[in-house]
Chains A and B, each alone.
Chain A
């Protein structure tokens, strides 16, 4: 989590906001549980029922999950029921949305699947299947990792996975 203090941050916030995400703008989390809960709105002083996602890491506050983000979780994980979501890994990131009232772009949290095409994933797959690669291809993969050729991660991972 970010060590700096976001201007929009409030110490009384009980739920995750975009200001809680690290400076990189992305946070990978694992779902512990997801339920409909009574959530108090401190501005209107009313209580509403909301989908709330809790994470395994206790450092990450519970996340009020709207319809769009719920759809993203279902689409990316294939898990249709909240009760079955324990252990699902998701990536939270900062996006912008137009505020219906002010018509201004405001930051918000969005959900996407965890990127499977990372340097770490490539490195681990390469270590596992190095013996199956020809010397030329193995050298090329080493080159891709050393130069961090991000645009080649996907094709390289798919190639090694196919062996």
Chain B
């Protein structure tokens, strides 16, 4: 269960220490821990925003990428499976893709600015760690939870010529049934003007499908594990 637990998608908030010498967590980290405490008391999520356009766009395009842009491989699409840590309670995550030795995450940004920012750090994982720590640490966390040594970040924004295909895909009733999704939440995509959706021009600088694969440094796995242990101590005490 995600509620009241630290999840991979937000785990980066626990990495930074505070400004004072004795501050184990930054204010962002302390707020995150406090929110998890509230969720444990509420027994439900604080945030109820699951219907926003960026969220539904991300979910639909993730499925599109999986079905149309990725060939058959050892990857399994596990976006509904929540993995928990073997020994540290209150730590779980939901990787999009799980392969034999790697985990993968598909990102489909709704804003082109966010896409361009991601592309700035796409040359190497050290830049990703600095510029988009939320994505880097999400992969590290999921690799720990699934006991894998490699990670892959897949970032996709369609070319304009693919928008019609995506709109057709949004009418594929069976895909929604098979993935237990409410198709009504995605109907807006079919009715949106093309210019209101994020797309790339074919003659622009960027590719539509971008992949960054890397080995996860053992020291980063150890660092994250230590940080989560400290946070769990604050959460349960």
Contact = CB atoms under 8 A, between A and B. Distances in A.
B175 interface: yes
Closest 9 CB pairs of A and B: A151-B77, A115-B174, A155-B67, A150-B178, A112-B173, A154-B67, A140-B72, A117-B174, A137-B72
A159 B77 CA distance: 16
B182 to A, nearest CB: 11
Nearest to B171: A75
B76 interface: yes
Contact of A155 (B68, B79, B173, B174): B68
Contacts, number: 45
Chain B contact residues, majority secondary structure: mixed
B71 interface: yes
Contacts of A140: 72-74
Interface residues of A, number: 19
Chain A contact residues, majority secondary structure: helix
A113 B183 CA distance: 14
Interface of B: 66-68, 70-74, 76-77, 79, 172-175, 177-179
Nearest to B178: A150
B174 A154 contact: yes
B175 A152 contact: no
Given A151-B76, A152-B72, A154-B174, 16 more contacts: A112-B177, A116-B174, A137-B72, A140-B73, A140-B74, A141-B72, A147-B76, A149-B77, A151-B77, A151-B178, A152-B77, A154-B178, A155-B67, A155-B70, A158-B68, A159-B71
